[in-house]
Amino acid sequence: MIAVFAPGQGAQSPGMLAPWLELPGVLEQVAEFSEVTGLDLARLGTTASADEIKDTAVTQPLLVALGVIAAGQLQLEPGTERVVAGHSVGELTAAAVSRALSPVEAVAFAARRGAEMAAACALTPTGMSAVLGGDADEIVAAIEGAGLTAANRNGAGQIVAAGALDALEKLAAEPPSGARVRPLAVAGAFHTHFMAPAAEALGAYAASITVADPRPILLSNADGAAVVTGTDLLARLVRQVTLPVRWDECLRSCLDLGVSGLVELAPGGVLAGIAKRELPGVEIVAVKSPDDLDRARALVASRPQHGQGEHTPEFRVVVTPAKGVFTRTESIDEGEQVARGARLGTVRTNREEHPIVAAEAGVLAEWLRNDGDIVAAGLPVARLADGSGY
């Protein structure tokens, strides 16, 4: 199976669109994108400075525009067996690749998303810092202990903290054991509760959008789950701006699905680098310019293609309803069938105990937390797989 990844904010570079404009039809495509966004994307993608294109309101539509252009040039055939995923705003590119949204709709959504997130950033001084190295569980505990959010979990040794600037400064001054903290040049605390105003505005915007069911498989940032309906995808795209990016879970799902080849869409490189560490043995092509298209096409063509009638594996995670101490249900082991509504564990706070139940039936593929772990509200504690395909 082939995976197609779409990068997110931070992957941009000055002039990244220039070589693509030389391809037939791309200039006209960019003109259409510029019209729906109200931005001169041709100029922004060719002659604008690094400072100008790091503006959130500019970066997001520019990245999605380039991503869908690259995907179009790959000429991916409908009905082939693939999995697609996008990091943060790259999930809109993935939505276009899966044909849930049209390329124009995806770019327009990205423009609105970028503008609303930029406005939310302006309300409160916040930021983000990469926490590099150390033990992942210890890092997350230290981030939460500092009153921050682990906004991106990209894989081993790559976790991003987000929140108030003073808390980030304290984390940098007293880093977790074996880790170092590096501030990121971003406008604010993306993928945290600080983006709630943006989510509210995007919810109203999304109500006017017609969305199709994603085909092929689209993995959600929120939990690595396979999103199978357009309605669910649209709701997730809205909520995504306030939820942490669990790219580590997307990578786990790729392993579960048996991905053997990976193409990262332009401007490729960042996600390919992570995948080299997290997906050993997978053949990877990062599309950085049109010169990489032939290699990417050859990789896609080298993998068997299957019809749409085959079973689509489905993944779900079970999350905590509250912050507290997690305890598993002892009678349920990994590999066992779980009924809808089954109690998988509890979270105990100082005052009460909250049950954790499975929203859907499936096979318990993996416990993600141990007994006694302190968990935040909304934290994944178990992964379920569709019992018919696991």
CATH of the domain at 133: 3.30.70.250
Residue that is last in its domain, among 142, 161, 183: 183
Which CATH number is 325's domain given?
2.40.50.100
Statement to judge: residues 140 and 230 lie in one domain: no
2-6 and 82-86 beta bridge pairing: parallel
Gap between the Cα atoms of 339 and 291, Å rounded: 50
* 358 lies in some domain: yes
Residue 167 sits in the same domain as residue 211: no
CATH code where residue 292 lies: 3.40.366.10
Q: Is residue 244 domain-shared with residue 113, that is, in the same domain? A: yes
Active site residue 191: yes
Select which of 34, 88, 98, 253 is catalytic. 88
Indicate whether 356 and 329 sit together in one domain. yes
Shared-domain flag, residues 338 and 282:
no
What's the length of the chain?
A: 390
Q: Which two tokens stand for residue 200?
A: 């509210």
Tokens of 302: 């080298």
Picking from 247, 267, 301, the residue at the C-terminal end of a domain is 301
Residues 208 and 173 in one domain: no
Among 301, 325, 357, identify where a domain stops. 301
Q: Does the residue 293 lie in any domain?
A: yes
Whether 209 and 257 share a structural domain: yes
Q: Is there a domain that residue 234 lies in? A: yes
Residue 390, in any domain of the structure:
no
Per-residue confidence in pLDDT tens, the chain, 390 aa = 899 999 999 999 999 999 999 999 999 999 999 999 999 999 999 999 999 999 999 999 999 999 999 999 998 876 556 899 999 999 999 999 999 999 999 999 999 999 999 999 999 999 999 999 999 989 999 999 999 999 999 987 789 999 999 999 999 999 999 999 999 989 999 999 999 999 999 999 999 999 999 987 899 998 888 887 899 899 999 999 999 999 998 998 898 888 999 999 999 999 999 999 999 999 999 999 999 999 999 999 887 654 444 444 556 778 777 778 999 998 899 989 998 888 999 989 887 888 888 877 889 988 988 999 988 766 778 888 875 443
- Mark whether 206 and 116 lie in a shared domain: yes
Q: Is 88 an annotated catalytic residue? A: yes
Domain-embedded: residue 307:
no
Could you tell me if 267 and 379 lie in one domain? Answer: no
Handedness of CA 15, 299, 61, 252 (dihedral sign): negative
Query: What one-character-per-residue DSSP string does 45-84 give?
Result: TTT--HHHHTSHHHHHHHHHHHHHHHHHHHTPPTTS-EEE
Question: Is there a single domain that holds both residue 207 and residue 161?
Answer: no
Pair (112, 204) in one structural domain: yes
The answer to whether residue 29 sits within a structural domain is yes
What DSSP assignment string belongs to 210-271? Answer: --PPPSSEEE-TTTSPEE--HHHHHHHHHHGGGS-B-HHHHHHHHHHHT--EEEEPSS-SHH
Q: Which domain holds residue 158?
A: 126-183
310 assigned to some structural domain = no
State whether 157 and 268 are in the same domain.
Answer: no
Number of domains into which the chain is organized: 3
Of 34, 87, 98, 191, which is the active-site residue?
A: 191
